[in-house]
A and B are shown apart, each in its own frame.
Chain A
Amino acid sequence: MTFEVRNGSFGYGKGAKTLYDVSFALAPHTVTSVLGPNGVGKTTLLKCMLGLLRWNSGASYIDGAPIHGMRHTDIWKKIGYVPQAKLSTFAYTVLDMVLLGRGAHVRPFSKPGAADMGVAMESLDKIGIKHMKDKLCSRISGGELQMVLIARALATQPELLVLDEPESNLDFKNQLVVLSTIQNLRDDFGISSLVNTHYPEHALSISDQGIILRRDGTVQCGPARQILNEINMERAFGVTVKIHDVDVAAKRYTCVLPIAIV
Chain B
Amino acid sequence: MRRKNVLLGAVLGVLPLVLGLFAICFGRYSIGIREVLACLAPPLFPDVAVSDYMKTVVYNIRLPRVALALISGAGLSAAGAGFQGIFSNPMATPDTLGVASGASFGAAFAILLGWDIMAIQGMAIVFGGVAVLIAMSFVLKPVEGQSPVVMLILAGMVVGALFSAMLSMVKYGADPQDVLPAITYWLMGSLTGTTFIRLAAGAPLILVGGVIIFVLRWRLNAMSLSDDEAKSLGVNVKRVRTLVIVACTMITASVIAMCGQIGWVGLLIPHVSRMIFGNDNRLVVPASFGLGSVFLLVTDTVARSASAAEIPVSILTALIGAPFFIFLLRRTGGVKS
A contact residues vs B (CB 8 Å cutoff): 12, 47, 50, 52-54, 72-73, 76-77, 79-81, 83, 86, 88-93, 96, 100-101, 103-106, 108-112, 134-136, 138-139, 152, 156
- The reply to whether B218 and A108 contact each other, CB–CB distance below 8 Å, is no
- The reply to whether B226 and A83 contact each other, CB–CB distance below 8 Å, is yes
Interface residues of B, count at CB 8 A: 34
Q: Which residues of B contact A89 (CB under 8 A)?
A: 88-90, 224
Q: Which residues of A contact B310 (CB under 8 A)?
A: none
- Contacts A73-B234, A103-B234 hold; do A47 and B228 have CB atoms under 8 A apart? yes
- Which residue, A53, A54, A91, A103, has most C-beta atoms of chain B within 10 A? A103
Which residue from chain A places its CB closest to the CB of B336 in the assembled complex? A136
A2 to chain B, nearest CB (A): 20
Complex Cα–Cα for A52 and B227 (A): 9
- The reply to whether A88 and B225 contact each other, CB–CB distance below 8 Å, is yes
Interface residues of B in 279-318 (CB under 8 A from A): 279-280, 282
5 extra interchain contacts, Cβ-Cβ under 8 A, other than A77-B234, A89-B89, A108-B239?
A47-B145, A52-B228, A89-B88, A92-B279, A96-B221
- The reply to whether B236 and A72 contact each other, CB–CB distance below 8 Å, is yes
Which residue from chain B places its CB closest to the CB of A13 in the assembled complex? B144
B contact residues vs A (CB 8 Å cutoff): 1, 84-85, 88-90, 144-145, 215-219, 221-222, 224-226, 228-229, 231-236, 239, 274, 278-280, 282, 335, 337
Which residue from chain A places its CB closest to the CB of B220 in the assembled complex? A90
Describe B's contact surface by its main secondary structure.
loop
Complex Cα–Cα for A136 and B335 (A): 10
- Contacts A52-B232, A100-B233 hold; do A92 and B218 have CB atoms under 8 A apart? no
Describe A's contact surface by its main secondary structure.
loop
Complex Cα–Cα for A135 and B335 (A): 12
Q: Which residues of A contact B225 (CB under 8 A)?
A: 88, 100
Complex Cα–Cα for A194 and B222 (A): 23
- The reply to whether A12 and B144 contact each other, CB–CB distance below 8 Å, is yes
Which residue from chain A places its CB closest to the CB of B87 in the assembled complex? A89
Q: Which residues of A contact B234 (CB under 8 A)?
A: 72-73, 76-77, 103-106, 156
Complex Cα–Cα for A79 and B233 (A): 10
- The reply to whether B145 and A88 contact each other, CB–CB distance below 8 Å, is no
- Contacts A101-B233, A103-B233 hold; do A83 and B216 have CB atoms under 8 A apart? no
- The reply to whether A81 and B90 contact each other, CB–CB distance below 8 Å, is no
Contact of A109 among B145, B216, B229, B282 (CB under 8 A): B216
- The reply to whether A88 and B224 contact each other, CB–CB distance below 8 Å, is yes
Complex Cα–Cα for A259 and B87 (A): 47
- The reply to whether B279 and A52 contact each other, CB–CB distance below 8 Å, is no
Contact of A103 among B85, B144, B235 (CB under 8 A): B235
B311 to chain A, nearest CB (A): 34
- The reply to whether A91 and B279 contact each other, CB–CB distance below 8 Å, is yes
Q: Can you report 12 A-B residue pairs in the complex whose CB atoms are below 8 A from each other?
A: A12-B145, A50-B232, A76-B232, A80-B232, A88-B224, A90-B90, A90-B279, A93-B337, A104-B234, A109-B216, A111-B282, A156-B234
Q: Which residues of B contact A86 (CB under 8 A)?
A: 226
- The reply to whether A106 and B144 contact each other, CB–CB distance below 8 Å, is no
Which residue from chain A places its CB closest to the CB of B88 in the assembled complex? A89
A11 to chain B, nearest CB (A): 10
Q: Which residues of A contact B229 (CB under 8 A)?
A: 81, 83
